[in-house]
Amino acid sequence: MPDTAQATDKVQSSAPKPVANAAGDANRKRLLTYLGIAVVIGAVAYSAYYGLVASHYVSTDNAYVGTDTAQVNALVSGPVATIVVSETQVVKAGDVLLTIDDADAKIAVAQAKAALALAQRHVQGYYASDEALAGQVGASQAEVARATAMIASAQSGLDNAKTELTRRQNLAQSGAVSQEELTTAQNAYTQAQAVYNTAVANHASAVAGVQAAGGQRATNAAQFTGASADQNPEVLAAQAKLDAANLALERTVVRAPTDGIVARKAVQVGQQVAVGTPLMTVVPTARAYVDANFKEGQLKKVVPGQTVELHSDLYGKSVTYHGTVRGISGGTGSAFSLIPAQNASGNWIKVVQRLPVRIDLDPKELVAHPLRVGLSMDAEIDTRK
Question: What is the pLDDT at residue 1?
Answer: 44
Round to whole Å and give the CA distance between 351 and 332: 12
CA distance 298 to 300: 6
CB count in 10 Å sphere of residue 145: 12
Q: What does the alpha-carbon distance between residue 176 and residue 368 come to, in Å, rounded to a whole number?
A: 135
| 346-378 confidence digits (pLDDT tens) | 677 788 889 999 999 999 999 999 999 999 999
Structure confidence at residue 11 (pLDDT)? 46
Name the CATH code of domain 57-68+284-382 (choices 2.60.40.2220, 3.20.20.150, 2.40.30.170, 3.40.50.2300). Answer: 2.40.30.170
Strand partners, 64: 291, 376
Residues of the chain with CATH 2.40.50.100: 70-101+251-281
* Comma-separated ranges of CATH 1.10.287.620 domains in the chain: 105-244
Write down the pLDDT at residue 291. Answer: 95
- Confidence at residue 159, expressed as pLDDT on a 0 to 100 scale: 83
For residue 297, the tally of other CB atoms under 10 A from its CB is: 9
Tell me which residues of the chain have a pLDDT lower than 50. Answer: 1-2, 5, 7-8, 11-12, 14-15
**Residue 5 has what pLDDT?**
47
Taking the model in full, what pTM does it have? 0.64
Identify the CA nearest to 272 among candidates 79, 7, 93, 42. 79
Length of the chain: 385
Distance CA 13, CA 20 (A): 12
- Give the pLDDT of residue 19: 56
Q: β-strands 96-100, 253-255: how paired?
A: antiparallel
Q: Quickly name the fold that domain 70-101+251-281 has.
A: OB fold (Dihydrolipoamide Acetyltransferase, E2P) (2.40.50)
Please tell me the CATH superfamily of domain 105-244, with its number.
Helix Hairpins (1.10.287.620)
At 369 the pLDDT is 93
Residues in CB range of 3: below 8 A, 6 or more apart: none
Region(s) of the chain under CATH 2.40.30.170: 57-68+284-382
